[in-house]
């Protein structure tokens, strides 16, 4: 057994006994006990191997059927009919050529994404969403013949479920957090946590033993006015720093004070390691747009460049960009926002290539849900299935995975023309989040046998005894 994983397992059992009296739901507790038993089966990467996942969460519900559009003549005509005043014209689209499918297009503001797709470094996963079990028809939904995710069409519920992959219960533990509980022992140094967030606390990276390490676009956050290397001329800093050093040197008998002091020291140690590891400039020629996403991906690039100093061979990174709830002005808003996503992703992939780790870093998008295909006259409303992007040198690109749906919308009355449309173009997902996430979890190093510990419902969509992969976009 890997010594680091054996240590992780011992730590887990020690902490699990303390957690028995907590308010964690019973479901989480059962998963935790299973996870503890499965920790030993994660295998160590080969010497020097590094892999990282980057989650770009577009909060609010991105209208992704204007991000990925069919261009085959009859399918595009259906798209135009269903979207009415929300349809993009051919001149507002960039054609792409997926392997084995008719032509599609991406939003005209995403030339970098189009280029990455055509070069084989990007792929789409079509009509993916939260599911407890497969659902095929709107009749099954209307008549409650299938278990449905809690709070469908609700921002808070669906954001939580995309981050936990537990759509049948409330949970504060994310699937990246559960991966962190399982894999963190593979890192040579755990002082800087495996899960790093550019946007503060989040469910996705919260585990039972791990949580996110929150940084800013300027790097790690230290104690205000504390400087371990203060100069004699810095009178105020000297006084504050001496006070902190004095606290850190004390031995406390009170458990709460001792724990607080320990955490403070750990934070300082993490800050010093991270700050030192990320201080070097990126290679010449690597530039990022000065935008919300661009600045965050630039900081992630610096953290990946400094991975050896951090002691990391497995990492996850989280970005949350809000403002995608476009009940009005969807066309204008997307015309302003999608180019920022595309440009930043293009710069990030170029940086990973310059650092020689393009095939070791995978970026994916996520969002609360898709949006209605039909217009509310101003914009689009909350829906279900959506299209998501995956980018990286390890991605089997120039492909659309899953099943892109027929975009025909059922009339309010009369015969059914599309069994996936539950009304107004709210499409039942044809690919579950579990399949989407399992593909990346396996690539990061989670053994197939342990997938149910990370994704409790995966067995409803994929057999862990299968020789194939859940979707295939990671090879």
- The three state secondary structure string of 307-361 is HHHHCCCEEEEEEEECCCCCCCCHHHHHHHHHHHHHHHHHHHHHHHHHCCCHHHE
Going by the DSSP 8-state scheme, the letter that residue 438 receives in this structure is: H
Flag whether pLDDT at 115 surpasses 50: yes
Name the token pair of 458. 């995966």
Whether the per-residue pLDDT at 254 is higher than 60: the answer is no
**DSSP element (H, E) containing 122:** strand 122-129
The tens digit of pLDDT for each residue in 52-95 reads 999 999 999 999 999 999 999 999 999 999 999 999 999 999 99
CB of 147 within 8 A of CB of 432? no
Report residue 288 as tokens.
């990022």
**pLDDT attached to residue 412:** 86
Closest CA to 18 of 37, 31, 32, 8: 32
Contact 179, 454 (CB under 8 A): yes
Host H or E run for residue 435: helix 433-444
Token readout for 424 is 């107004």
Parallel, antiparallel or unpaired: strands 386-391 and 361-367: antiparallel
Angle between helices 175-183 and 433-444 (to 10 degrees): 20
Is 152's pLDDT higher than 70? yes
Say what the pLDDT of residue 306 is: 97
Structure confidence at residue 414 (pLDDT): 85
Check pLDDT > 90 for residue 226.
Answer: no
pLDDT at 268 over 90: no
In this model, does residue 44 exceed pLDDT 80? no
Distance CA 18, CA 24 (A): 12
Mean of all residue pLDDT scores within the chain? 87
Query: Sorting pLDDT into bands at 50, 70 and 90, what band is 19?
Result: very low
Which secondary-structure segment (H or E) carries 96?
strand 93-96
Task: Please state, in angstroms and rounded to a whole number, the distance separating the CA atoms of residues 305 and 291.
Answer: 21
pLDDT for residue 194 is more than 70: yes
Per-residue pLDDT reduced to its tens digit, 376-396:
999 999 999 999 999 999 999
Q: Write out pLDDT tens, residues 316-344.
A: 999 999 999 999 999 999 999 999 999 99
pLDDT score of 10 more than 50: no
Structure-token match 């190093």, residue found: 445
pLDDT of residue 410 exceeding 70, the answer is yes
């Amino acid at each position: 057994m890997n010594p680091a994983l054996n240590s992780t397992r011992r730590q887990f059992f020690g902490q699990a006994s303390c957690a028995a009296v907590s308010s964690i739901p019973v479901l989480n507790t059962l998963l935790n006990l299973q996870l503890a038993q499965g920790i030993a089966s994660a295998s160590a990467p080969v010497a020097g191997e590094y892999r990282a996942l980057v989650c770009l969460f577009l909060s609010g519900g991105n209208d992704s059927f204007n991000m990925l559009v069919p261009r085959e003549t009859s399918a595009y005509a259906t798209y135009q009919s269903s979207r009415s005043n929300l349809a993009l014209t051919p001149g507002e689209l960039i054609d792409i050529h997926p392997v084995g499918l008719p032509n599609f297009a991406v939003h005209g503001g995403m030339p970098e994404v189009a280029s990455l797709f055509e070069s084989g470094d990007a792929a789409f996963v079509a009509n993916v969403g939260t599911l407890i079990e497969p659902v095929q028809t709107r009749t099954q939904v209307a008549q409650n013949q299938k278990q449905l995710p809690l709070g469908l069409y609700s921002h808070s519920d669906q954001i939580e479920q995309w981050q936990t992959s537990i759509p049948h219960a409330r949970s504060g533990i994310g699937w990246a957090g559960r991966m962190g509980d399982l894999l963190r022992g593979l890192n040579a140094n755990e002082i800087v946590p495996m899960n790093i967030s550019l946007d503060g606390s989040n469910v996705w990276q919260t585990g039972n033993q791990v949580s996110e390490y929150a940084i800013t676009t300027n790097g790690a956050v230290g104690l205000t006015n504390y400087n371990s290397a203060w100069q004699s001329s810095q009178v105020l800093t000297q006084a504050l720093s001496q006070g902190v050093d004095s606290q850190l040197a004390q031995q406390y008998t009170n458990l709460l004070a001792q724990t607080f002091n320990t955490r403070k020291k750990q934070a300082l140690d993490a800050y010093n390691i991270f700050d030192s590891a990320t201080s070097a400039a990126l290679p010449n020629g690597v530039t990022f747009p000065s935008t919300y996403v661009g600045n965050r991906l630039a900081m992630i690039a610096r953290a990946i460049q400094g991975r050896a100093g951090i002691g990391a061979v497995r990492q996850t990174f989280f970005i949350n960009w809000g403002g995608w709830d476009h009940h009005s002005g969807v066309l204008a808003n997307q015309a302003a926002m999608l180019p920022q996503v595309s440009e930043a992703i293009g710069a990030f992939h170029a940086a990973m290539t310059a650092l020689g780790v393009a095939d070791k870093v995978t970026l994916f998008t996520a969002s609360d849900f898709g949006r209605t295909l039909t217009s509310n006259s101003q914009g689009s409303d909350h829906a279900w299935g959506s299209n998501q992007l995956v980018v990286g040198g390890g991605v089997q690109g120039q492909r659309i995975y899953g099943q892109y749906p027929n975009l025909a919308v059922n009339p309010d009355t009369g015969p059914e023309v599309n069994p996936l449309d539950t009304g107004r173009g709210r499409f039942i997902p044809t690919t579950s989040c579990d399949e989407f996430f399992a593909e990346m979890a396996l690539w990061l190093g989670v053994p197939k046998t342990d997938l149910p510990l990370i994704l409790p419902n995966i067995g409803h969509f994929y057999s862990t005894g299968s020789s194939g992969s859940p979707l295939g976009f990671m090879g």
